[in-house]
Chain A
Amino acid sequence: MDYGLDTKSNRLKTFNTIFIITWLLIACFPFIWTFWGSFKVRADFFSRSDWWYAISAFNTLIETGGKFTTNAYTQAWTEGEFWKASKNTIIVTVFVVSISLFLGTLGAYALSRSTEKYAFWILMAALIFRAMPHITLVSGYLFPFFELQIWGILPTTIVVLVAINQPFTLWLLYSFFKTVPKELDESALIDGCSYFQAFRHIIMPVMWPGVITAGLFSLMLAYNDFTVTALLLNQENHTMVPKIQSYLGTNQHEGNLMWAVSAVVSATAPLFMLVMFFQRQVISGLTAGAVKG
């Protein structure tokens, strides 16, 4: 805390700096290391003889003639069909984000402007829904989806992800719309607008900051999901995260570990860029509802 009266001793300052550096190392080094290792061959990054090979690139030099190789990437994206998985991820993410924002803004706006008791109960129900482990919901979906023969395709997964995402989106946008003064749309109503017109012409232009935050979180949910996509999509339609898992291999067949490493880097990089760009919005979203009480 940077207060005028608060003077820190040098020892405390040093201790603080050491602590932060240690924590940042713990938080970031695994990613840096994986990024570094993705340009090596398997015998180096998962060396049976000496871990130092991952740095000296002993086997990478022998196998490829250079200290760095992009073989893992080219193979995973072509042979491993990671391009298909990323295409599916893009489709799923785009649709989930746009649909859940559309539904969420309408619903949250109504909740924030309602003074009835049921609005409170709906928010409570949403909180309970938010707490449901996704895997328990999936165990409810599988059987009906098999029967209706809509299992394995992208649209089903998109709808499911939108629904799973609604409780959080509703809460986030609800607490955001609460901060938009009621007088704004009330004056529009007095001027003869319908609620929908007030929403369309008065609220929509000022709601973008909240929508961007909610959109980012829907995006992260859709992009990162493993439980739903792994169990509701067939092999052909797998998105990136279940694809990475399939590279790991099972007891029956040997996986291709270096594909998994390069796929992890490929999948994580866009996410990091995005968060770097929208850091402020991510943090405001996480704290919405918490700090305001």
Chain B
Amino acid sequence: MPNKTFFWFFLPTGLAMILFIGLPIISTGIQSFYAQHDQVVKEVKKCDPFGCTVSIVVDNEETSKIREAKPLGKFNGFGTYTDRNHLAVDEIKKFWNETESFGAFVDQVTNLPFYKALIFTLTYCLFVTPNVLLLGFIIALSLNAVARKIRGPLIFGTILPMIVTPLVGSLVLFWMIDSQGIIGANIQNLMNDPYLSLKSSKTLTWITIIIYGIWHHSPFAFVVFYAALQTVPQEPIEAAIIDGASRFQRIKHIVLPHIYPVVTFVALISLMDNFRVFEPIIGFSAEGSAQSLSWLIYDNLVNEEVILFGSAAATSMMTIIGIAILLAPVLIRTWKEFKTAR
């Protein structure tokens, strides 16, 4: 296709992506170097028959004037990146000097908001992704062994958790697991502990959100693996059966190598999706004990007094860097393949 024709065909979609994905990333980058203005204060002298007092009040008029003149806020350089709510450089130095054992130091650091969120996000990715791959593969194998006639409805039932939005999916589970729901109440009875509830324990909350993640993402892995299983050639398997290979050996030596490229694809996609975990935290109302990077950004953006654009942008930029690190191996591999192909 000539370049000119290509240009006109691609222009609309290219423009949409540049304007609403490319530019916002740049806009986020710029915003991350600015912080909201401080409030202007003034001294007010109040006199009454008993004498004069000087009090300091916020000058709303002046404040809003400055905000209007420079809506982006004041230039802050890397200040937002290094402050307490982000990388917390000073705090970490302080902890390093003050705490006695390494364990105490780690404890202190993991209590800082950014690191807390980072650790939850990584833990979530680390537990959900492999389990999704495993469960998805087992369901695919298992459904593949069922008679063809009844597979349709079974597949429909299997993909339900995936097609609802994460917020709805987590709410539906939360209403059952909560102490007033069917599962929560029964666990209380079983454990004989009337105060046992999701909100009371950080570990329980984390486990619940991770289980939710596996429940929500496994159907995706299942669908892809199931389609891949249909393409596995039959001859090698039959040969293996004649040679006396067990079922497990057949899966390990024939099926798995055949679908290996698909496994990496699913792992990559689900890693990307898990890294942005956010809606389940709202669905499970777990803000207290589990915060993710995306949730931090959301929290800054719905702040009631002043929207913390700078703070949200700084967290966003660091999230994007995280995504880039996750994607780097794939991009490098594709680049190498592309170079050798030329």
CB of A103 within 8 A of CB of B228, answer no
- Interface residues as binary, A204-231 with B (CB distance below 8 Å gives 1, 0 otherwise): 0000000000000000100111110001
CB-nearest residue of chain A relative to B34? A143
Q: How many A-B residue pairs have CB under 8 A?
A: 283
Q: B334 to A124, Cβ gap below 8 A? A: yes
Q: How many residues in B have their beta carbons less than 8 Å from beta carbons of A?
A: 108
Contact in complex: B282, A245 (CB < 8 Å): yes
Q: Do residues B297 and A136 form an inter-chain contact, with CB atoms below 8 A?
A: yes
Instruction: Please determine whether B301 and A126 come into contact, CB atoms closer than 8 angstroms.
Output: no
A5's partner among B72, B242, B338 (CB-CB below 8 A) is B242
* A1 in contact with B145 (CB, 8 Å): yes
Contact residue among B71, B175, B294 (Cβ-Cβ distance under 8 Å from A37): B175
Looking at chain B's contact residues, the main secondary structure is helix
- How far, in Å, is A289 (CB) from chain B's closest CB? 8
A142 contact set on B, CB distance < 8 A:
301, 307, 309
CB of B165 closer than 8 Å to a CB of A: yes
Contact string, A77-96, partner B, CB cutoff 8 A, digits 1/0? 00000000000000000000
Tell me, yes or no, whether B231 is within 8 Å of chain A by CB.
yes
B19-59 at interface with A (beta carbon < 8 Å): 19-28, 31
Chain A residues whose C-beta falls within 8 Å of the C-beta of B5 in the assembled complex: 110, 195
The answer to whether B155 and A279 have CB atoms under 8 Å apart is yes
Q: Which residues from chain A contact B307 at a C-beta distance below 8 Å?
A: 142
- B175 contacts across to A, CB distance below 8 A: 34, 37, 45-46, 261
Q: Shortest CB–CB separation between residue B144 and chain A, in angstroms?
A: 6
Chain A residues positioned under 8 Å from B137 (CB to CB): none
Is A8 positioned at the interface, with any CB of B under 8 Å from its CB?
A: yes
Contact B294 A16 (CB under 8 A): no
Per DSSP, chain A at the interface is: helix
- In contact, A271 and B163 (Cβ under 8 angstroms): yes
In the complex, per-residue mask of B263-285: 1 if CB is within 8 Å of any chain A CB, else 0: 00110000010011011001001
Give residues in A with beta carbon < 8 Å to B: 1-6, 8, 12, 16, 19-20, 23-24, 26-28, 30-31, 33-34, 37, 45-48, 50-51, 54, 102-104, 106-107, 109-111, 113-116, 119-120, 122, 124-144, 146-147, 159-160, 162-164, 166-167, 170, 195, 199, 220, 223-227, 231, 241, 244-245, 248, 260-261, 264, 267-268, 271-272, 275-276, 279, 282-283, 286-287, 289-291, 293
For the complex with contacts A114-B1, A279-B152, 7 further pairs of A-B residues with Cβ separation under 8 Å are A1-B144, A34-B172, A114-B6, A128-B331, A139-B300, A142-B309, A143-B27
The 3 closest A-B pairs by CB, nearest first: A140-B24, A163-B20, A110-B9
